[in-house]
Structure 1
Amino acid sequence: MKTLAHLNALRAFEAAARHQSFSAAAHELHVTPAAVGQLVRTLEDWLQAPVFVRQPSGRTRLIPTEAAQRALPDIRAGLDRLADGLEKLSEASMNGVLTVTVSPAFAAKWLLPRLERFQLTCPDTDVRIDTSLKPVDFASQGIDIGVRYGTGQWPGLVAEKLLTEELYPVCSPVLLKQIPRIRHARDLAHVTLIHDLSMDGQSGFPSWASWLHAAGGQDVPTRRGLKINNSAAVLQAAIDGLGVALARSVMSQDDLVSGRLVRLLPEVRMASPMAYYVVYSASSAAKPRVKAFRDWLMAEVAKQPALGHRQTAK
């Protein structure tokens, strides 16, 4: 227990030895150099022995004594173990930060408009959203849980299907009044197509070419049009009347309900080969914050209406 009483002094000594400087150690520990020096002197008083070689005047680099150098590996290992123990105590509580990784478009069009409901349910959990189109390393980047779009295969992660979706063309109500009536997929040859390149090149990602081929519009040219590498921006371009977008129902649901977008050719029903999955590492599954967020996501999906059936063009 005497060692624990001098825990701050041990932290100050370890940091000063690693940096060979009281000033650098003070910067890391968010205290003053004088405070670090005082903590080190407290440790030396308790040990009744120096922990740094006294340097000639003018030399500022700290050199641990021979005994201190032998002790440092055990001290560092002990501090690391204490940090691990504190982290485990934190993980067992709803208090603290939950880091969630999602794509920028999923955050904007689905998660953020609903996130307040999770925060009301779990007010002691602070949510940090990490937006990225590329897969991230959960362990090295401190990610607790995420939502990914794909086929459900991500090595090292548990993946549970969250949302399936339909694909269909959409446009703004204003544009709908300005273009020739769309009765068949072939009629899309007369409008500007908005292309989603956010996951361009990934096998299975929905494209105009694949949708038109399945819908009988193989002759509609797809090389031209407006090309955007963000799914939320694709829908915004359609809302602004810049053309017709190939919408994914998860992303476009709120825009259809609000009337910002209308669905074209509702009789053409096509499921996406990809879906949204809740993903997390197996070691994180039991954390209360992770479990609460996973359960909340599933509950949000369970209570929402079927996607893609509202606000269709007549």
Structure 2
Amino acid sequence: MRSPVHLNALRAFEASARHRSFSLAASELNVTPAAVGQLVRTLEDWLDAPLFHRGSTGRVRLVLTEAAERALPDIRAGFDGLSLGLARMREVSSNAVLTVTVSPAFAAKWLLPRLDRFQAAWPDVDVRLDTNLKLLDFAAQGIDIGVRYGRGAWPGLFAEKLMDEEVYPVCSPVLAAPNGAFQSVGDLAGQTLIHDLSVDPAAGFMTWEAWLQNAGAPEVPTARGLRINNSAAVLQAAIDGHGVALARSIMARDDLAAGRVVRLFPDITVPSALAYYVVHRPECAGLPKLTSFRDWLFSEADAAAGR
């Protein structure tokens, strides 16, 4: 089994089992579905046992045999170990690459304005940002560390809370100025409400409906308004005077400090059920470039909070 052919066959099997699809495995491995199928058959021939149940031609998802299901965690752990070994070998390079995954909005509103300070402190680490709304597979995509927004539980990843936040309405100073336009929450009625669709409300993400309920004004209508699936764009729409946005405090902090938006009803505090977490694979915790970036993230978060 030390043959490269069998190693490629194991890779094809692991990707096919993870995706439950030869086609999706082929896309990940940059080969054809037929090549993936042939590699899996090669492994099955060597084992003299099937790894997938061959169903009807209409079957959409692959179904593993019982033996394959039992073996999959060990094979996956083996590939994770290989990835970690390669990462440690790369650490000897003076130009170590650190691949960081964050959402596009978090990159634009929090990370990128501060990243120069990390690069000044660690000039030998080249940061590669992956700004993706999808939850990436750290091992498969070569991700070292990331910041995720949620409740703190993601399979296969160690999560450490970085920042809590609260949620509150903001608008441009021009919109807020006329005649003290917003004396009470009820004054939001008739305003254009800007809705953030970037996170599923089922995950605990604060919506206008939930915020108004917490603020004691559930009668304010929310059915109409401007809907945007990017938190940075939500803030930009508020800055440009297009309405009142329900802002996430971490995203809005710099815009508030610069006076680009103003917070409405500052006496009303509604904490978010979600928070920002630093995440990475547990087996990578000791990599120097990872720990350096993790420590820097926490120092920046403490500085932003005035700690």
If the length of structure 1 is used for normalisation, what is the TM-score? 0.69
**Is residue 170–residue 244 contact of structure 1 (8 Å, CA) maintained in 2?**
yes
* Partner residue in 1 for 2:14: none
* Partner residue in 2 for 1:140: 140
Report the alpha carbon displacement of residue 85 of structure 1 after superposing the two structures with TM.
5.9
Aligned residues: 228
Report the alpha carbon displacement of residue 260 of structure 1 after superposing the two structures with TM.
0.2
Q: What one-letter code is carried by the residue in structure 1 that aligns with 2:171? A: C
Report the alpha carbon displacement of residue 231 of structure 1 after superposing the two structures with TM.
0.4
**Is residue 83–residue 139 contact of structure 2 (8 Å, CA) maintained in 1?**
no
Report the alpha carbon displacement of residue 235 of structure 1 after superposing the two structures with TM.
0.1
Q: How does 1:34-113 map to 2 (within 5 A)?
A: 87-91=87-91, 95-113=95-113
Using the alignment, how far apart are the partners of 1:205 and 1:139 within structure 2? 27
- Could you tell me which runs of 5 or more consecutive residues in structure 2 were left unpaired when the two chains were aligned: 1-80
Report the alpha carbon displacement of residue 138 of structure 1 after superposing the two structures with TM.
0.1
Secondary structure of the corresponding residue to residue 295 of structure 1: helix
Q: What one-letter code is carried by the residue in structure 2 that aligns with 1:174? A: V
* Partner residue in 2 for 1:254: 254
Secondary structure of the corresponding residue to residue 177 of structure 2: helix
Secondary structure of the corresponding residue to residue 301 of structure 1: helix
Using the alignment, how far apart are the partners of 2:145 and 2:83 within structure 1? 22
Structure 1 residues 94 and 184: CA distance shift in structure 2, 3 A: farther
Alignment of 1:150 onto 2:161: no
**Is residue 179–residue 191 contact of structure 1 (8 Å, CA) maintained in 2?**
no
Using the alignment, how far apart are the partners of 1:168 and 1:86 within structure 2? 45
Structure 1 residues 82 and 221: CA distance shift in structure 2, 3 A: closer
Q: What one-letter code is carried by the residue in structure 1 that aligns with 2:105? A: A
Using the alignment, how far apart are the partners of 2:292 and 2:131 within structure 1? 20
**Is residue 93–residue 289 contact of structure 1 (8 Å, CA) maintained in 2?**
no
Alignment of 1:189 onto 2:189: yes
Structure 1 residues 135 and 86: CA distance shift in structure 2, 3 A: closer
Structure 1 residues 249 and 82: CA distance shift in structure 2, 3 A: closer
**Is residue 94–residue 288 contact of structure 1 (8 Å, CA) maintained in 2?**
no
Secondary structure of the corresponding residue to residue 160 of structure 1: strand
Using the alignment, how far apart are the partners of 1:123 and 1:299 within structure 2? 18
**Is residue 186–residue 216 contact of structure 1 (8 Å, CA) maintained in 2?**
no
* Partner residue in 2 for 1:200: 200
**Is residue 150–residue 203 contact of structure 2 (8 Å, CA) maintained in 1?**
no
Secondary structure of the corresponding residue to residue 279 of structure 2: strand
* Partner residue in 2 for 1:118: 118
Alignment of 1:168 onto 2:168: yes
Q: What one-letter code is carried by the residue in structure 1 that aligns with 2:172? A: S
Structure 1 residues 248 and 82: CA distance shift in structure 2, 3 A: closer
Alignment of 1:284 onto 2:284: yes
Alignment of 1:233 onto 2:233: yes
Using the alignment, how far apart are the partners of 1:271 and 1:244 within structure 2? 18
Report the alpha carbon displacement of residue 177 of structure 1 after superposing the two structures with TM.
2.1
Using the alignment, how far apart are the partners of 1:169 and 1:245 within structure 2? 5
* Partner residue in 2 for 1:210: 210
Report the alpha carbon displacement of residue 87 of structure 1 after superposing the two structures with TM.
4.2
* Partner residue in 2 for 1:298: 298
Q: Which has the larger radius of gyration?
A: 1
Root-mean-square deviation (CA, aligned residues, Å) is 2.2
Q: Which aligned segments of 4 or more residues in structure 1 are displaced greater than 4 angstroms?
A: 81-87
Percent identity among equivalent residues?
A: 61
Using the alignment, how far apart are the partners of 2:82 and 2:108 within structure 1? 39
Using the alignment, how far apart are the partners of 2:284 and 2:261 within structure 1? 39
Structure 1 residues 177 and 95: CA distance shift in structure 2, 3 A: same
- Note the alpha carbon deviations across 1:63-84, whole angstroms, 9 max, x for none: xxxxxxxxxxxxxxxxxx9998
Using the alignment, how far apart are the partners of 1:164 and 1:82 within structure 2? 35
Q: What one-letter code is carried by the residue in structure 2 that aligns with 1:129? A: L
Structure 1 residues 122 and 222: CA distance shift in structure 2, 3 A: same
Structure 1 residues 85 and 237: CA distance shift in structure 2, 3 A: closer
Structure 1 residues 153 and 186: CA distance shift in structure 2, 3 A: same
If the length of structure 2 is used for normalisation, what is the TM-score? 0.70
**Is residue 92–residue 288 contact of structure 1 (8 Å, CA) maintained in 2?**
no
**Is residue 100–residue 127 contact of structure 1 (8 Å, CA) maintained in 2?**
yes
Secondary structure of the corresponding residue to residue 143 of structure 1: coil
Structure 1 residues 287 and 82: CA distance shift in structure 2, 3 A: closer
- Note the alpha carbon deviations across 1:155-197, whole angstroms, 9 max, x for none: 1100000010111100001111247621221111131100000
* Partner residue in 2 for 1:245: 245
Using the alignment, how far apart are the partners of 1:125 and 1:176 within structure 2? 44
